[in-house]
């Protein structure tokens, strides 16, 4: 989906076109290697979105529905955003995904306005906005392949560096787009967890927290795979794996706590555009030991 350019961006594009110059976030090495595979930069592109971030789980808690207030049917409950349920942060994750995609769409709209075929070296960032809410940014360098026609599809996006983008092209693959996997899981600290975290418990695994991390990561990976399928790609190169953990006062039980885990995966979905090279088809690699003593020993053996 093509994003309509805001008025301020249209004004910036109008200044760039007559000047005949372009900006870039590439290093000199990235610039050279991108040129070597038939692409050239056409300008630095940017997209942003600011979203209000209220509490998406209300006053619910996933582990306080049992009769004891510690578990449901004898087992502590973990709620992850991708599965919904009591205390789920699903609406918040949907808003975060929408904000990121809005920033990416605005960045690709700038790329299309400059005549680019795609954006490389994309960096996504999230931060607090001074007036409240969260600010999502996407910045990269628009590139084009001279002589190639522009199709109906939106420009591709890639979080790969210039060098990795060139390697991808040389091996018969092309980026299909940035993909995201975000999950927020929450768990109420039941009596078992409270006992395991007391200082007298010693060095031992806190099984409930381990399960919370595992389920949140699994849910984030599932969201990432869904994004890859949405683009019709064959695989994904993961660039960023992040996890944030925080504690909050339980909104239901006074004096008790919940733990919240936010797992984020960001990568570049890829698709094949030519047959893979046969093994052994390229030139042999020369391998030289860098350690002086090993080089000397090799010369003696020869």
List all residues 6 or more positions away from 229 whose beta carbon is below 8 Å from its beta carbon. none
Ranking 147-161, 170-184, 217-231, 235-249 by mean pLDDT, the lowest is: 147-161
Domain count, the chain: 1
The verdict on residue 291 lying in a domain is yes
Report percent pLDDT > 70 for the chain. Answer: 66
What is the separation of C-alpha 158 from the centre of its chain, rounded to a whole number of angstroms? 11
The verdict on residue 128 lying in a domain is yes
Residues 211-228 pLDDT 10s:
889 999 999 999 999 999
Domain that holds residue 146: 7-301
List all residues 6 or more positions away from 22 whose beta carbon is below 8 Å from its beta carbon. 16, 41, 42, 43, 44, 114
* Cα 244 from Cα 260, distance rounded (Å): 8
Q: pLDDT: is 21 or 113 the higher one?
A: 113
Residue 102 pLDDT more than 80? yes
The verdict on residue 2 lying in a domain is no
The verdict on residue 80 lying in a domain is yes
The verdict on residue 77 lying in a domain is yes
Would you state the pLDDT for residue 94?
Answer: 87
| pLDDT band at residue 187 under the 50/70/90 scheme | confident
Residues 125-157 pLDDT 10s:
888 776 667 889 999 999 999 877 766 678 999
The verdict on residue 133 lying in a domain is yes
The vertex-57 CA angle with 228 and 245, nearest 5°, equals 70
From the CB of residue 171, how many other CB atoms can be counted at a distance below 10 Å? 12
The stretch 67-91 carries a mean pLDDT of 63
Would you state the pLDDT for residue 161?
Answer: 92
* Cα 30 from Cα 287, distance rounded (Å): 25
The verdict on residue 1 lying in a domain is no
Concatenated DSSP letters of 232-295: T-SEEEEEEEEEEEEEEE-SSSTT-EEEEEEEEEEEEEEEE-SPPPPTT-SPPPP-----HHHH
| pLDDT band at residue 70 under the 50/70/90 scheme | very low
The stretch 30-44 carries a mean pLDDT of 90
The verdict on residue 54 lying in a domain is yes
Residue 286 pLDDT more than 60? no
């Amino acid at each position: 989906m093509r994003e309509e350019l805001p008025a301020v961006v249209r004004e910036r594009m109008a200044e760039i076109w007559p000047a005949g110059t372009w900006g870039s976030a590439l290093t000199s090495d990235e610039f050279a290697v991108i040129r070597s595979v038939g692409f050239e930069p056409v300008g630095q592109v940017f997209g942003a979105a600011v979203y209000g971030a209220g509490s998406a789980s209300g006053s619910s808690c996933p582990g306080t529905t049992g009769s004891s207030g510690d578990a449901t049917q004898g087992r502590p409950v973990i709620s992850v955003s991708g599965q919904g349920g009591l205390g789920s942060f699903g609406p918040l994750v949907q808003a975060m995904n929408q904000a990121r995609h809005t920033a990416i769409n605005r960045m690709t709209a700038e790329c299309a306005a400059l005549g680019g075929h795609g954006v490389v070296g994309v960096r996504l960032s999230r931060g607090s906005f001074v007036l409240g809410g969260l600010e999502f940014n996407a910045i990269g360098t628009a590139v084009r392949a001279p002589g190639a026609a522009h199709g109906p599809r939106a420009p591709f996006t890639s979080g790969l560096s210039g060098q990795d983008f060139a390697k991808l092209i040389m091996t018969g693959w092309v980026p299909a787009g940035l993909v995201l996997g975000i999950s927020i899981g929450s768990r109420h600290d039941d009596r078992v967890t409270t006992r395991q975290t007391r200082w007298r418990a010693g060095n031992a695994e806190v099984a409930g927290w381990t399960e919370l991390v595992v389920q949140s990561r699994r849910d984030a990976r599932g969201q990432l795979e869904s994004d890859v399928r949405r683009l019709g790609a064959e695989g994904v190169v993961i660039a960023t794996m992040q996890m944030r953990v925080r504690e909050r006062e339980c909104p239901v039980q006074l004096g008790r706590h919940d733990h919240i885990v936010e797992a984020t995966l960001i990568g570049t979905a890829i698709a094949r555009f030519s047959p893979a090279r046969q093994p052994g088809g390229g030139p042999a690699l020369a391998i030289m030991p860098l350690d002086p003593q090993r080089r000397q020993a090799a010369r003696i053996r020869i």
